[in-house]
Amino acid sequence: MSIYIDADVFVAWEKGEFDLLAWLEKHSNEPVGFPPTVWQQLVFGTFAWEPARALRRQRHLKEFGARVSTFSRKHAQRAARIAADLRSSPIGFADCQIAACALENHAELLTFNIEHFNRVPGLSLASV
């Protein structure tokens, strides 16, 4: 099974608050990637932040080197279904897309946002 990394985990690694590389070393037999929505969230800083901070983020993304999954019609339909199913207690548009990618691609999601993602039926969360 693949592991998809959520933005909060990547940011915690950048800040030195979580040893993502050590965690991944323990799971080295599993492919690692980013859902496209997470990639967008992370790349945003390379365009929006002041140059020194943006350059650090670019370096971190390049250093990390994980693949980015696709987002197709089936992912969009799954995200819409998740949003509809959770409309009484929504988790947000981006989180629905992230969950849909993980579900459709049979990946575990590595996240610290357990409160939101635990509400998505069938979504497998990797233990931190």
pLDDT of residue 80 exceeding 90, the answer is yes
The average pLDDT across 110-119 equals 97
Which of these, 64, 56, 46, 92, lies nearest to 3 by C-alpha position? 64
Give me the domain span that covers residue 23: 2-117
Q: How confident is the model at residue 128 (pLDDT cuts 50, 70, 90)?
A: confident
**What's the mean per-residue pLDDT of the chain?**
96
Long-range contacts of the stretch 59-66 (C-beta < 8 A, 24+): 60/10, 60/13, 60/14, 64/10, 66/5, 66/32, 66/33, 66/34
Residue-wise pLDDT tens digits, 18-70: 999 999 999 989 999 999 999 999 999 999 999 999 999 999 999 988 899 99
Amino acid at 33: G
pLDDT of residue 90 exceeding 90, the answer is yes
The average pLDDT across 66-82 equals 97
Structure tokens at 55: 């350059």
Q: Is residue 91 part of a domain?
A: yes
pLDDT of residue 65: 85
Q: Is residue 123 part of a domain?
A: no
CATH of the domain at 69: 3.40.50.1010
Q: Is residue 106 part of a domain?
A: yes
Domain count, the chain: 1
pLDDT of residue 114: 97
Structure tokens at 22: 């050590």
Structure tokens at 100: 């849909």
Q: Is residue 125 part of a domain?
A: no
Q: What is the pTM of this model?
A: 0.95
Round to whole Å and give the CA distance between 12 and 59.
16
Burial grade of 80 (CB within 10 A; 0-12, 13-18, 19 or more): middle
Q: Is residue 17 part of a domain?
A: yes
Round to whole Å and give the CA distance between 7 and 5.
7
